[in-house]
Amino acid sequence: MHSESLNTQSTFPARQTGTRPEHPPGIPLAIHDLTVAYHRKPVLWDIELNIPEGKLVGVVGPNGAGKSTLLKACLDLVPLTSGWAHIYGKPYRKNRHRVAYVPQRESVDWDFPVNALDVVAMGSYRRLGWFRRVSKAETERAMDALDQVGIGHLALRQISQLSGGQQQRVFLARALMQDADLYLMDEPFAAVDAATEEAIVDLLRKLSERGKTCLVVHHDLATVTTYFDWLVLINMRVVADGPATETFTRENLQKTYGGKLSLLEKAAEALRSTPH
């Protein structure tokens, strides 16, 4: 029964008739008609997005809304049921070098026997290619990247000896090493100390000034409009997207978070505290 409803909807005629707006070819991230399902259960449904260049984009939505899956879908890490995501007008595998990914901190084992510098150097592996070792120049770049996130002095420390915030900075430094144009970050602000939060915001601003585009999964509604200038509200579908101040409205949040009362109250509070 479930599959039937899936079928009838996915063959809904309006989808293939080309009535949707054209995607400009050179934009950092264009997503069209994207659907992702795990075990026949849709996680993302008919996503249609155009992310403009040089923007700091917040991706906001309740738990299980498919935010992480959206990033993974852009990176070819999960199979797509339908649709596509293009990076600067091309499929991901043809434009790998223009994207850097910062996964959730818990996605790796921090007891792994490597130091911070090793992890950051991994950001250079695509440039190096198979069999080639990390060169001295790349090691220096990795040191630079660690300095940029303010933990150059911890380069040789084993990663389990770092605090949560420091581990997050290691991941950001690794993304900087990739020297990309589009940065996809999965909850970089989750459970970090205030100093790290500030360092990350600083870094995002600097990237944006250099014309880089950052797509950041974010949880804290209170900081959305101060950190980001573009917003994607998502709950399986895209509820709203556009300039942050215009999109961050009570109505849109209500649609995104549905009947989750406590969250709604938080949202209302956040709305009150932001200048409108």
- What residues make contact with other proteins under the rule CB under 8 A? 39, 72, 75-77, 93, 96, 99, 101, 103, 107-109, 112-115, 118-119, 122, 125-126, 128, 130-134, 158, 160, 174
The CA dihedral of 15, 50, 92, 138, to the nearest 10 degrees, is -170
**Smallest distance, Å, CB 114 to other proteins?**
6
Single-letter residue type at 249: T
The tokens of 102 are what?
A: 């910062």
Choice between 114 and 191, CB closer to other proteins: 114
Question: Please, which residue, 135 or 226, has the CB nearer to other proteins?
Answer: 135
The nearest distance, CB 118 to other proteins, in angstroms, is 8
- The per-residue b/e assignment along 46-75, b for 16 or more CB within 10 angstroms, e otherwise, is bbbbebeebbbbbbbbbeebbbbbbbbbbb
C-alpha to C-alpha distance for 79 and 66, rounded to whole angstroms: 14
Please say whether the beta carbons of 154 and 162 come within 8 A: yes
212 burial level (CB within 10 Å; 0-12, 13-18, 19+): buried
Question: For other proteins, which is the closer residue by CB, 116 or 221?
Answer: 116
CB of 132 to other proteins, least distance (A): 8
Residue closer to other proteins, measured from CB, 132 or 206: 132
What is the spatial distance between Cα 113 and Cα 105, in angstroms, rounded to a whole number?
Answer: 16
Smallest separation (angstroms) from other proteins to the CB of 227: 24
- What's the min distance (Å) between Cβ of 123 and other proteins? 9
List beta partners, residue 37: 42
If the CB atoms of residues 106 and 193 are measured against other proteins, the closer one turns out to be 106
